[in-house]
Homo-oligomer: A and B are copies of this chain.
Amino acid sequence: MSRLINFSAGPATLPLPALEHAQRELLDHEGTGISMLEHSHRGAAYQKVHDECKALLVELLDVPDTHAVLFMQGGASAQFALVPMNLLGPGQSADYVNTGTWSKKAIGEAKIVGQVRVAGTGEVNGAFTRIPSQSELKLDPNAAYVHITSNNTIMGTQYHAYPDTGAVPLVADMSSDILCRPVDVSKFGLIYAGAQKNLGPAGITVVIVRKDLAERSPDTIPSIFRYRTILEGDSLQNTIPTFPVYMVREVLRWVKAQGGAPAMKRRNEEKAALLYDLIDADPDFFRCPVEKGSRSIMTPVVRLPSEALEKKAIAEALAAGFAGIKGHRSVGGLRISIYNAVEPSDVAKFVEFLKAFRAAN
């Protein structure tokens, strides 16, 4: 077996110990004689996984008692709709900060549900190359909430300081950077994240919500779409995707063993620095379109002098064992997703590849 070095934007590479453990017990979970793919969501074996997974999220993200961890389905795309369905009442308006593709999708879904204001943008000359600063935001003090996209996979931008929204709840799509560093959860009304980048495989969504906000879910929306229902049912009101939760637990055990969120921050900053240092040292060949203070430590993007060279680099990288570096079709270029599970030594190898590629071209 020869595993590739996988820089895919998500679903993404998982820690090898998590995969190996899952493989070992795939036919027989902890000697129960039943696979975790088969265990009832109402049984003790799954309940233990569920509780540990939730407890690890609380511990690693330092989630305060005011907030609850929910497991949901449908990914961030479902949350684009569920956030306004739950939190945007009739006659209210919600503020959205537009930092590119995923923000736009969130805005689009919210507009179907209720009234939306765009309170800020990361657009410069038609490209989303930066995160707007606090002073640039035109926040409505009466907004139902303020919505941001914490990391923008396609654009390669990331918030490094979150907006102060005062008494207005801050809602963040953290799908592509949750647990990449410590975060003060108490500052957020709601955080949501599809698991398939930093937390596990596709098929489960983590929602961290202030309990008093969850309680506001209106009775006019289907009960299965209310945060209140999920909170009251401890995410077990109906059949939960048991195996994806189990895999998230495996990944979180690995994160904890590495040293938790502070260790992830050091590790991710180290990986990002390897790439950005190379880019900045050779501006005639490499170019990062993102403003320095807005650069992502999760999904750096880089352009080469021509599309032909980019195409060549992607093909040669794959031949050398590096997968998933093609930029999103909407922007082109290269994107090197260096989520938590990507090893710094693998990024170092890729930097050596890029140096050799640069020397040869």
Q: Is A100 an interface residue (CB 8 A)?
A: no
Q: Is A283 an interface residue (CB 8 A)?
A: no
A37 touches B11 (CB 8 A): yes
B3 touches A40 (CB 8 A): no
Q: Quick one: closest B residue to A46, CB to CB?
A: B11
A241 touches B239 (CB 8 A): no
Q: Which residues of B contact A14 (CB under 8 A)?
A: 35, 37-38
Known: A223-B109, A242-B201. A27 touches B10 (CB 8 A): no
B222 touches A81 (CB 8 A): yes
Least Cβ–Cβ distance between A329 and chain B, in angstroms: 9
Q: Quick one: closest B residue to A221, CB to CB?
A: B112
The listed residue (B12, B13, B33, B222) touching A112 by CB distance below 8 A is B222
Known: A74-B74, A223-B109, A238-B77. A202 touches B41 (CB 8 A): yes
Q: Quick one: closest B residue to A85, CB to CB?
A: B222
Q: Choose, from A17-25, A296-304, A347-355, the stretch at the interface.
A: A17-25
Q: Is A140 an interface residue (CB 8 A)?
A: no
Q: Which residues of B contact A22 (CB under 8 A)?
A: 26, 37
Q: Which residues of B contact A156 (CB under 8 A)?
A: none
B38 touches A201 (CB 8 A): yes
Instruction: Return the CB mask of A209-221 against B: 1 if under 8 Å, else 0.
Output: 0000000000111
Least Cβ–Cβ distance between A187 and chain B, in angstroms: 27
Q: A4 CA to B39 CA in the complex, in Å?
A: 11
Q: Quick one: closest B residue to A175, CB to CB?
A: B239
Q: Which residues of B contact A202 (CB under 8 A)?
A: 41, 239-243
Q: Is A121 an interface residue (CB 8 A)?
A: no
Instruction: Return the CB mask of A27-68 against B: 1 if under 8 Å, else 0.
Output: 110001111011111010000000000000000000000000
A27 touches B23 (CB 8 A): yes
The listed residue (B35, B78, B204, B238) touching A75 by CB distance below 8 A is B238
Q: A113 CA to B2 CA in the complex, in Å?
A: 52
Which of the listed residues A77, A78, A239 has the most CB atoms from chain B within 10 Å of its own CB?
Answer: A239
Q: Which residues of B contact A221 (CB under 8 A)?
A: 112
The listed residue (B6, B33, B75) touching A34 by CB distance below 8 A is B6
Q: Is A252 an interface residue (CB 8 A)?
A: no
Q: Quick one: closest B residue to A36, CB to CB?
A: B201
B324 touches A40 (CB 8 A): yes
Least Cβ–Cβ distance between A122 and chain B, in angstroms: 22
A37 touches B19 (CB 8 A): yes
A40 touches B74 (CB 8 A): no
Least Cβ–Cβ distance between A87 and chain B, in angstroms: 14
The listed residue (B20, B32, B108, B244) touching A203 by CB distance below 8 A is B244
A203 touches B73 (CB 8 A): yes
Q: Is A309 an interface residue (CB 8 A)?
A: no
Q: Is A196 an interface residue (CB 8 A)?
A: yes
Q: Quick one: closest B residue to A109, CB to CB?
A: B222
Closest 10 CB pairs of A and B: A203-B241, A81-B222, A4-B33, A77-B238, A73-B73, A23-B26, A37-B201, A203-B203, A73-B74, A77-B224
A-B contacts, 6 listed (Cβ < 8 Å): A2-B33, A6-B34, A8-B39, A74-B74, A109-B223, A241-B244
